[in-house]
Structure 1
Amino acid sequence: MNSLAPVALTSAFAYLAAKTLRGKRREMEKPIANLSVDLPKSLKDTKYPAKLHNANVQNHLNEKDAAFLICGNHVEGVKYCDISKPFRQERYFYYLSGVDIPNSTILYLTSLKKLILFLPDVNSDDIIWSGMPMSIEEASKKFDVDEVHYLKEFNNIFRMYENDITKLYTTDLDNFKVNESVFKSLLDSKKIVAKDEKFFNSMDEARLIKDEYEIEILRYASKINDNCHLAVMSALPIELTEYQIQAEFEYHALRQGSRTLGYDPICCSGPACGTLHYVTNTEELKEKESVLIDSGCEWMNYTTDVTRCFPINGKFTKEHREIYEAVLDMQAQTMSLMKPGARWEDLHILSHKVLIKHLMNLGILRNEFTEDEIFESKVTCAFYPHGLGHLMGLDVHDVAGKPNYEDPNPYFAFLRLRRELKANMVVTNEPGCYFNEFLMKEFLEKYPERTKMVNFDVLKKYMYVGGVRIEDDILITKDGHENLTGITSDPDEIEKIVSKGLSKSRSNFHVVV
């Protein structure tokens, strides 16, 4: 890996360079300056359906005289420093509340189907530095709850219902310790049930099936994400390094209201495209042929997860195009079968069988072996070790997938989804093909029967590509599926987008800072 060499610039040259770069920024933004998405009408003047979500969990739990008591995350400080870590709301709490306020608490009474929100107490010092917090009246209008109180009223409110509660379910007790003086007597109660497997399973199964409100959030987030990927493809003249690709994506995400990403973006080039969760994002793009960007915008705490690959110079090389079309075929064939009742394991196995055909046609896998022999050998795990996809929602790898990471079969060991598809599940479809020396050693050298199936002379011609992954976000509908991802994956269209961006600027201007 080559590190970036710092370049000293005089004040005058720095000024001219910055002015030119700003000019290029303005020039590059012309085709994408008006990127915007319209807020779905279905989300205007509506509330996040918190009470429905609590009722869904209750239906799975099947207990009438219980209660859910969950405290959201608090703002954490950075050790040995007076700044705070970025706030991320606890996902189970958000699913049951729709509240993104730190240090909030909810109480749901299953017998009454009543949801009560407790806001953190008002601190006058905080007002001086951070302004007025949300009031009880504002929270009552914004959130789908029956009552809103400040946390100091918790014990008085809880005593009103305590005798009607047989079990008090919570996720864990850690967040309650921040307000231990309020919850002290409650935490010692025999009624409280923390980290209960049945409760977690009930919440997971409820989150598995998305309601219309959640689906509209994901559609909106997907449109933001499409624009960000388009911007990256269109702006190569000002993307000289992997971290500038990341910066371009995050810039357009923030412009559209996505304040955070769902996960650390993967922005890699050349051979690094073969590293599955590459997050170094520092290498220069020069003398590389391929780019892979795996990045997803988050909006209202729901995330997208999309991967696109494109050629740096606007035209796929022969080998890059061949691998790209193989992966595109893997995705298309599995996509055509995505509907309720389809078994995810079957779709995953199909993607491997499609890859076998392509690698045999390219000569990477030897034709003296049959497709069945190659499949039984599991040699394609050296090129495609991960699963076809996973559930997606409040978390990028959402809950309820029922994986089995102890499965001795390498086809399934990293498969995050092991169940039948149902309507209103949201999954990713992300097959890939990689040329990674470590993967080769892991899956080939230890097993001579696999090694003899690979033509390493042909394989060498593809190593520079690194890898290709094509990932879309898919909503399972009652009759089939809907692809929430709109950014093109057609290789001809991708070439046109990248080439159009490159044609905007053909100067030799280059600044390393």
Structure 2
Amino acid sequence: MLDVANRPMPKPEMFAAHRAKTLAELRKRKLEGVVLIYGFPEPTRAHCDFEPVFRQESCFYWLTGVNEADCAYFLDIETGKEILFYPDIPQAYIIWFGELATIDDIKKKYGFEDVRLMPKIQETLAEYKLKKIHTLPETCILKGYDALLDKNEFIDVVGELRQIKDDDEMVLIQYACDVNSFAVRDTFKKVHPKMWEHQVEANLIKHYVDYYCRCFAFSTIVCSGENCSILHYHHNNKFIEDGELILIDTGCEYNCYAADNTRTIPANGKFSPDQRAVYQAVLDCHNYVVAHAKPGVFWPDLAYDSAKVMAAGLLKLGLFQNGTVDEIVDAGALAVFYPHGLGHGMGIDCHEIAGWPRGTCRGKKPHHSFVRFGRTLEKGVVITNEPGCYFIRPSYNAAFADPEKSKYINKEVCERLRKTVGGVRIEDDLLITEDGCKVLSNIPKEIDEIEAFMAKKE
């Protein structure tokens, strides 16, 4: 069991270090002017005053640690002067919000020497002979300064810096991964045929909230049977039948830092021969990545090489025919069944920004072109490893009409696997270390391990 009372807390020093690195990089690039970025406003549902759980804009939180609505951050690049702007909340609001924080409270909580109220932004800008205002593309609400706004450079700077996680960030990410692992392991013991997909989802969410992960990295995917072929299935409303696979793609979020795991398990606790064969092909690909991910490896190359491992397993099964593994992969036949990238950067967003450096071009060969992370791995990168195989009827029907692909695909086996398997995905989060990688998750994924674990029903 996790100790929620002693869960790790984010430190103001971590965010101060992020701001220091950002300032150094801004100066290194010889950027001039000031930075002014806004956090998210308080969300409300249209035509009513319902307030969802607030979740801060990611870059703003990464820099400030402020997970409160309607704030802004100012930085003078030349002098390093920083200001946190905080909402001017009327005293009458104490009946809804409780006792309001003072300026001194905010300074102490977030580690800023200068905190001002939001209405002071225009007055503050008037103190500077502005050459340029660097801001974020989506959240800037500043009026009257359009000619000075630069919405490209700052997000590029922060996107690059967010790629490498520091030790304090890893403590938060590991906690999220621990909570996610616990929730998924517990769910293994509770699933069975004749329950609903949303009931599986409910068990996961219960554990997230139990361990103070009230925001989710994304909407939980729980699909069964042929629904497992829908990559981002969110209905979660099907009745789970005996003999079907259940694909669970889920991620909690702790202080804005994400976890992201997928497991595919048999509803009745036992893989059928077809399910076992497809699962093993995906698992072999997944395990190849774990064995080869390390600093200096270009991620798209690893995606391409590992795809061949999956193709070999599916060739052995009989899904592919009339060619070698290289021919099957290079013709795009595997991509019919594995139509997404190997993984994505992860951190303060589930899909970390700047997966491809600005100005780079994606490769053209299959399993190069659609990866979301086009970088060479470095120590401190956190990335997901999530190969999958899906039997998507419109996709393979289109492939049957393409002679360059169809000659490698056994149509009869393909149709059978759509019914008996649907789809398989296996996903873990990896931290790139000095000479390899560390799997941050602790969830069974070997076939015999899953079956033994599921046999321990509660």
Give TM-score scaled by structure 1 length: 0.82
> What does 1:27-106 align with in structure 2 at a 5 Å threshold?
34-36=1-3, 39=6, 43=8, 46-47=11-12, 49-61=14-26, 62=28, 63=30, 65-106=32-73
Say whether the 8 Å CA contact 2:54–2:68 is kept in structure 1.
no
Say whether the 8 Å CA contact 2:382–2:429 is kept in structure 1.
yes
Cross-structure match for 1:181: none
Shift in CA distance, 237/332, structure 1 to aligned 2, threshold 3 Å: closer
Cross-structure match for 1:363: 318
Identity of aligned residues (%): 34
2:166 is aligned with 1:199: no
Counterpart Cα distance in 2 of 1:213 and 1:76: 29
Counterpart Cα distance in 1 of 2:138 and 2:417: 52
Cross-structure match for 2:336: 382
**Offset of residue 67 of structure 1:** 2.1
The structure with the larger Rg is 1
Shift in CA distance, 235/111, structure 1 to aligned 2, threshold 3 Å: same
Q: Specify the code of the residue in structure 2 equivalent to 1:439.
A: S
Cross-structure match for 2:440: 484
Counterpart Cα distance in 2 of 1:231 and 1:139: 39
Q: Specify the code of the residue in structure 2 equivalent to 1:54.
A: R
From 197, 215, 221, give the equivalent of 1:266. 221
Counterpart Cα distance in 2 of 1:317 and 1:476: 35
Counterpart Cα distance in 2 of 1:45 and 1:466: 41
**Offset of residue 65 of structure 1:** 4.9
**Offset of residue 159 of structure 1:** 4.9
Q: CA deviation digits over 1:419-457, x for unaligned, max 9?
A: 111111110000111112122123x12312311212222
Q: CA deviation digits over 1:384-436, x for unaligned, max 9?
A: 01010011111111111118898654433421111111111110000111112
From 467, 481, 488, give the equivalent of 2:423. 467
Q: CA deviation digits over 1:31-86, x for unaligned, max 9?
A: xxx4546746xx55832522322232233333375321111111133223332454
From 343, 347, 352, give the equivalent of 1:393. 347
Counterpart Cα distance in 1 of 2:56 and 2:78: 27
Counterpart Cα distance in 2 of 1:329 and 1:376: 19
Query: Could you tell which deviates more after superposition, 456-465 or 400-409?
Result: 400-409
Say whether the 8 Å CA contact 2:193–2:242 is kept in structure 1.
no
**Offset of residue 157 of structure 1:** 4.7
2:397 is aligned with 1:441: yes
Counterpart Cα distance in 2 of 1:239 and 1:212: 44
> What does 1:299-338 align with in structure 2 at a 5 Å threshold?
299-338=254-293
Cross-structure match for 1:428: 384
SS in 2 for 1:385: coil
Q: CA deviation digits over 1:83-120, x for unaligned, max 9?
A: 24543311121111110110011112233333321110
Counterpart Cα distance in 1 of 2:403 and 2:204: 43
Q: Specify the code of the residue in structure 2 equivalent to 1:482.
A: K
> What does 1:2-17 align with in structure 2 at a 5 Å threshold?
none
Cross-structure match for 2:115: 148
Q: CA deviation digits over 1:178-231, x for unaligned, max 9?
A: xxxxxx5xx4375x3231x22221111011111111111101111011111112
Shift in CA distance, 37/495, structure 1 to aligned 2, threshold 3 Å: farther
After the TM superposition, which segments of 4 or more aligned residues of structure 1 sit over 6 Å from their partners? 403-407
Counterpart Cα distance in 1 of 2:364 and 2:207: 42
> What does 1:228-239 align with in structure 2 at a 5 Å threshold?
228-236=183-191
CA RMSD of aligned residues (A): 2.4
Shift in CA distance, 310/35, structure 1 to aligned 2, threshold 3 Å: farther
Q: Which runs of 5+ in 2 are unaligned?
A: none
Shift in CA distance, 189/445, structure 1 to aligned 2, threshold 3 Å: closer
SS in 1 for 2:236: coil
Q: Specify the code of the residue in structure 1 equivalent to 2:163.
A: L
Cross-structure match for 2:197: 242
Shift in CA distance, 469/104, structure 1 to aligned 2, threshold 3 Å: same
Cross-structure match for 1:188: 145
Shift in CA distance, 449/154, structure 1 to aligned 2, threshold 3 Å: closer
Say whether the 8 Å CA contact 2:228–2:424 is kept in structure 1.
yes
Counterpart Cα distance in 2 of 1:238 and 1:375: 36
